[in-house]
Amino acid sequence: MGKNIALLAGGYSGEYVISIKTAETIEKNLDDTLYNVFKIIITKDEWYHEHNGQKVQVDRNDFSLTVNGEKIVFDCVFIAIHGTPGEDGRIQGYLDMLNMPYTTCNSIVSALTFNKSYCNKVVKSFNVVNIANSVHLIKGEPFSIGAILDTLKLPVFVKPNESGSSLGVSKVKDVGTLLPAIEKAFKEDNQVLIEEFIEGRELTIGVYKTNGYLHTLPATEIESKNEFFDYEAKYTPGVTNEITPARIDKSLKEQLENKAAYIYRHLNCRGVVRMDFILQKSSGKLFFLEVNTMPGQSENSIVPQQVRAAGLSLKNFYGELLEDCMAGAGIRY
C-alpha cells in the first residue's frame, strides 16, 4: 500500500506560476507504485485538492482530505511552494504544530534564509565566504540617498529583501535611478536590500542530505544575455546560458562545494537547497549571494539539470528526499 504524500503548490506570491511548474515536475517523477500523491493548491482564499474536476477542501484542523467519503491523512508533505507561505517558514510552522513531516528546512531556518539581509549577517559570521556590502531599508523608516551612497559604491543591486525569482530587482548604475529602483522593490516587499555589484561569474550549486550524508550536486554557471539573472532570464528560453556542470577547475570546484556544505550544515538546512555565489573577477574570491530553500524545479530548472549531471534520476532523487524526510520525522524539532 503506497504512502500518502501531500504535494503543496501555489502560494501567495508572484512565484505562483513557477510553483505550479515545479510541482508538475515533482509529481511526474514520484514513483506511483510507492506513493499516492495528492496535489494541494494553496492560495490566500482556499487550500484544495482537485478530484474529478471538483475542489476538495483541506481540513486545516488536522491537514486531511475527505475524498469519496474516505478520510485521507498524510505520511509526508512535499513542499513545492516558492515564496510565501512555503519558503518563509509559515507553512512549516503550521505543519510542525501537527507533527507532520515535510521536505524542506524547518520554520526558523526558512524564515531566516528568506530574509536576505538577516541571512547575509549570519553567513558572514561563519567567516568562510565573502559578503557584498549592503544597506537594509524598512518601509516607513526614513532613509537618505546620500547616506546610502556614502556607504555603497555604484553600481548596486536593489532588491526586495523577502522575495524570489528576481521579482522587483533592479541594477542601478547612476544616482538618478536609485530612488525609482527602491520604490519598485518596495512594491514587492516591506523591506529592501541594496547591495554593491560584484563583477564576476555567477555560480550556483545544489546541496542536500539523505541517510545522514551531505551531498553536493554539480555546480552550474549562469551566463545571462540580460543585465543580470532577472525574472525574464530565469524563465525565458534562450535568454540565459546555464552550463552544467560548470567549467571550473578542481580547486574552485572543491572550494565551492566545501563552502556550500559548510553553510548548509551551520544553517541547519534540510532537504535540497540551492546556493548562489559570485566569483569576483578582480580578486578570484567567492561571494555568497543567497540560499534558496525551495529552488525552482520545472523540467529545465537548475536543480533538475544538476541532478541529471550527477548521473541520478529525478525519480530516485525525489524518492530519497521523501524517504529521508519520513525516516527523520521523529527528530524534526
Give me the CATH number covering residue 99.
3.40.50.20
How far is 50 from 53, CA to CA, in rounded Å? 6
Mean pLDDT, rounded, for 150-162:
94
Residues 234-243 have pLDDT tens digits of 445 566 799 9
**The pLDDT of residue 300:** 85
pLDDT of res. 297: 93
pTM of the model: 0.91
Question: Which pLDDT score is estimated for 328?
Answer: 78
CA atoms within 13 A on the CB side of 62: 8
The CA distance from 201 to 193, in Å, is 21
Q: How confident is the model at residue 226 (pLDDT cuts 50, 70, 90)?
A: low
Return the pLDDT at 332: 39
Same domain (yes/no): 121, 268: yes
260 and 279 belong to one structural domain: yes
CATH number for the domain that contains residue 121: 3.30.470.20
- The reported pLDDT for the residue numbered 238 is 62
Q: Are residues 32 and 141 in the same domain?
A: no
Beta-bridge partners for 56: 49
Q: What is the pLDDT of residue 1?
A: 73
Among the ranges given (149-153, 234-238, 279-283), the one the predictor scored with the smallest mean pLDDT:
234-238
> Same domain, yes or no, for 174 and 270?
no
Domain residues for the domain of 308 are 111-130+198-331
| Domain end among 177, 196, 215 | 196
Q: Confidence class of residue 333 from pLDDT cuts 50, 70 and 90?
A: very low
Q: Tell me: pLDDT of 73 over 70.
A: yes
- The answer to whether residues 228 and 145 belong to one domain is no
Average pLDDT in the 79-102 region?
96
Confidence of residue 227 (pLDDT cuts 50, 70, 90): low
Among residues 157, 177, 196, the one where a domain terminates is 196
**Residues 119 and 27 occupy one common structural domain:** no
> Are 294 and 172 members of one domain?
no
Contact 113, 293 (CB under 8 A): yes
Question: Distance (Å, rounded) from C-alpha 146 to C-alpha 321?
Answer: 48
Per the structure block, which three cell numbers stand in for 290?
A: 543567497
pLDDT in tens, 6-62: 999 999 988 899 999 999 999 999 999 999 999 999 999 999 999 998 999 999 999
pLDDT (0 to 100) of residue 166: 66
Query: How many Cα atoms occupy the beta-carbon half-sphere of 44 within 13 Å?
Result: 4
**The pLDDT value given to residue 39:** 98
Which of 103, 121, 142 is where one domain is finished? 103
Number of domains in the chain: 3
Q: Within this chain, do residues 253 and 121 fall inside the same structural domain, yes or no?
A: yes
Using a pLDDT cut of 70, give the percent of the chain over it.
Answer: 93
User: Do both 170 and 203 map to the same domain?
Assistant: no
Q: pLDDT band for position 331 (50/70/90)?
A: very low
Q: Where residue 86 falls among pLDDT bands split at 50, 70, 90?
A: very high
Q: Are residues 191 and 227 in the same domain?
A: no
241 and 122 co-located in one domain: yes
Same domain, 123 and 241: yes
The CATH number of residue 169's host domain is 3.30.1490.20
Q: pLDDT by residue (tens digit) across 95-141? A: 999 999 999 999 999 999 999 999 999 999 999 999 999 999 999 99
